[in-house]
A and B are shown apart, each in its own frame.
Chain A
Amino acid sequence: MTNSPSTDFSLADTEPVRPRHVCPDCSSPVGKRDRFCEVCGRNLLLHRTPVGGPDPAMQVATCISCDFAEIDSEGFCLRCGRSQPLGRDRVVYDLGVVAGVSDRGRRRERNEDALALGWIGRRDSPKCVVAVVCDGVAFSSRASEASQGAADAAVDILLSAMSGTADPTAATRAAAAAASAAVNRLADEGDHEEGPPATTYVSAIVNESEVTIGWIGDSRAYWLATGSNGTRSRCLTVDHTRANELVASGVSAVAAGAAEDANALARWLGADADDPRPQVQRFRPNGPGTVLLCTDGLWGYLSGPSVLAAHLPVGGRDPLGTAMDLTEAANERGGRDNITVAAIPFPVCAGQEPGMARSDSP
């Protein structure tokens, strides 16, 4: 598998803003300084990935294996026969200042991870970037809807809160509550032979000076330094697992690791979870780096902060390349679970134009 994108949403796809000064929703002309579209009322300073994720029928343009340009209606390459990823099998988002990949991996039949990304500000001066990554619990019903619904609901709240004057911690909690409500609505909708829908959750708010992380479950956030003299690379979250709960209650790490269900989730979002409040972590990085959100499909293979940081361009900013490289690395190591990676370079500043050719994406 190469890391050519399947459902590649660049800004150009999600927000057709060429020529620059039209509303991305209704295409009406807008003024360069306008904050809202006068025709449809859209907030012109909010940018985000599409609600619901990619169109399930959306196909790649060229074969992921041999680059041939003809794919049949059932998604097979007309030259090499390789089945092409459809819809959520491989999601690639590139919003310039933030990018992410969600990949089915090599063993699972479906991708039950999801991510949603957004940012606030004028194109030439982004103010704040938000990202949410969710890992639908595999044994629950409608896991993929749960993860997508949670990520979408959370990003909506994060964007609207941060475009006002909200405190990042309050925004993080409100977003997790909205995500929880979205998953619970799914639970109310139907019967669930395999258990009610559930998902893990990790969010990030990155502005000019600060990083705010909120999480429930075992999806992680990392700080990966790209300069030599700044805050060192580290994991920003502590997994909500049985083992970590035991450690928190005073049991030794060795004994906790040996416990039955040591790696089982202790917390999650969903119908049978009683507490949707996220654990929150805030910090002010000193020096450049990248905030990385990921599911266990990545950290199950690559978990050391310095190992992850080695995949980043030194001193450079390439969120899409980072997300693709890390996803590919997890697949090369076996890809036993869905892999989702979101990357937000810090400090927030205007990235390169999305959708442009990149040397690392074939």
Chain B
Amino acid sequence: MTSYPEFQLEVAQNQYLAPGATEVNAVLTVTADAPEEGQFTTSAAEIVIVDCSASMYRPSKLNAAKQATIAAIDGIRDGVEFAVIAGNESAKVVYPPKHEGLTLARADEETKAAARDAVARLVPSGGTAMGRWLWLADQLFATSTAEIRHAILLTDGRNDSQAPKELTATLESVAGNFVCDCRGVGTDWEVAELRQIAHALLGSVDIVAEPADLAADFAAMTEAAMGKAVADVGLRLWTPQGARIDFVKQVEPTLADLTAMGTPTDARSVEYPTGAWGSETRSYHVKLHVPPAEVGDKMLACRVSLVSSGPNKSEIVLGKGRVLAVWTDDVSLSTVIDPTVAHYTGQAELADAIHAGLAARRAGDIETATQKLGRAVALATQSGHEDAVSLLSGVVDVEDAVQGTVKLKSRVSAIDEMTLDTRSTVTKRVSRRTGI
């Protein structure tokens, strides 16, 4: 049974529109407060997918991957269903053993010890086909009735043993069945590929440059997964007749465009998946187009609800909010940009500038790369995003951080570039006090 967290939903917006205006922006901030661990009644299943391709042969990598997988197993709460998958150009279940059939094990001292032994015996060989790993994970999750279904995927290389469209097709068929956090170790993997997987499966993506850091990272991911109290929460947006949803983006803690993931639930409502929730805060930027009304008119531009499935196909509304539109000819009201909306609009522009800058740099377009990365430095500095400033300084020499005057570094380490690329979507949380 699910032990539902307390949800709070806050709406930040400037509700005032100029006459004839049709664009409404709002940032929805959702804070969930889950019950203390130990009071959990939500069932969970965890699968660790570890890259076992030939490129993992280097002892430091393979050992680190094994240590990390073992750390993840150690973090699994007793009673949680789990499995370990080893992947190369195909995929196989490492634990539970083959003779038990396609099934998940239930965590206790004995099964976890057996799993650790199985992981220790892994031998690398072959290529990389992550779509097949995920497909097998989906088969395993399908045998379970657990509410929280979470996977960790670790790779060190590119998805070169299958066509991109094969991976895309697998993601389309398994999306919504489980959440998957992705980690790339070393620098030979493709940021865009892992981001595609993590985005489709509502998980995070990160680089673990040093294999030695893997174990701590896996333990943290497992702990976060074990802290989830409710699975499959949907962000449902009702908009009035004649309105449309231009975009829905998660903007906190990381950027993720959910627009294309929406599913209509009735004529005027669309639901966007947000995955599982523990105690955490996330924010969503919603941009709406509403039919214009006359000065003095007030409209409910969007009714927001967070919904989860309850017993017997019932629906549980975990939180509610509303976005308004009020037309006024008072420009002192209509020209104000809500500080939270402004902040996250800036964070999205920062991520775009980093992506465009890195792409231009790879293409040898020095001028565009310098301009875009300079803009990124300025945006990161203005928004107080110190992590981003620090990562950017691995790629450019900063002459004026506020103005964004930079020079491209002549030599950039692969780790610095990939770390910047991977973490470009991590946003700086808006300050409650100043709005920046």
Contacts and interface: CB of A to CB of B under 8 A. Distances in A.
Contacts of A77: 240, 300
Interface in A1-22: 1
B241 A80 contact: yes
A185 interface: no
A107 B295 contact: yes
A335 interface: yes
A111 to B, nearest CB: 12
Interface in B273-323: 290-291, 293-301, 303, 322
Overall SS of chain B's interface: loop
B342 interface: no
Nearest to B299: A81
Interface string A308-341: 0000000000000000000000010011000000
A82 B296 contact: no
B243 A81 contact: yes
B31 interface: no
Contact of A83 (B242, B290, B297): B297
Specify which of B239, B268, B299, B301 lies most central, judged by the most chain A CB atoms within 10 Å of its CB: B299
Interface string A185-200: 0000000000000000
Interface residues of A, number: 18
Interface string A65-87: 11000000010110111110000
A83 B296 contact: no
Contacts, number: 54
B296 A79 contact: no
Which bracket fits the contact residues of B? 20 to 34
A1 B297 contact: yes
Contacts of B300: 74, 76-77, 81-83
A108 B328 CA distance: 10
A347 interface: no
Contact of A81 (B239, B295, B328): B239
A79 B241 contact: yes
Specify which of A81, A105, A106 lies most central, judged by the most chain B CB atoms within 10 Å of its CB: A81
Contact of B296 (A65, A76, A80, A335): A335
Contacts of B242: 80
Given A66-B241, A77-B240, A79-B240, A1 B294 contact: yes
A79 B268 CA distance: 8
Interface in A202-260: none
Interface string B328-369: 110000000000000000000000000000000000000000
Nearest to B243: A81
Interface string A96-108: 0000000011110
Interface string A101-120: 00011110000000000000
A63 to B, nearest CB: 10
Nearest to B268: A79
A83 B298 contact: yes
Contacts of A1: 294, 296-297
Contacts of A335: 295-296
A81 B240 contact: yes
Contacts of A66: 241
A65 B290 CA distance: 14
Contacts of A82: 240, 293, 297-300
A119 to B, nearest CB: 33
B296 A81 contact: no
Contacts of A74: 300, 322
Nearest to A332: B294
A325 B314 CA distance: 49
A335 B242 CA distance: 25
Given A106-B295, A331-B296, 17 more contacts: A65-B293, A66-B241, A74-B300, A74-B322, A76-B299, A77-B240, A77-B300, A79-B268, A80-B291, A80-B299, A81-B239, A81-B241, A82-B293, A82-B299, A82-B300, A107-B296, A107-B329
Closest 4 CB pairs of A and B: A106-B296, A81-B240, A83-B298, A76-B300
27 contacts: A1-B294, A74-B322, A76-B303, A79-B240, A79-B241, A79-B268, A80-B240, A80-B241, A80-B291, A81-B239, A81-B241, A81-B290, A81-B299, A82-B293, A82-B297, A82-B298, A82-B299, A82-B300, A83-B297, A105-B296, A106-B294, A106-B295, A106-B296, A106-B297, A107-B295, A107-B296, A335-B295
Interface of B: 239-243, 268, 290-291, 293-301, 303, 322, 328-329
Interface of A: 1, 65-66, 74, 76-77, 79-83, 104-107, 331, 334-335
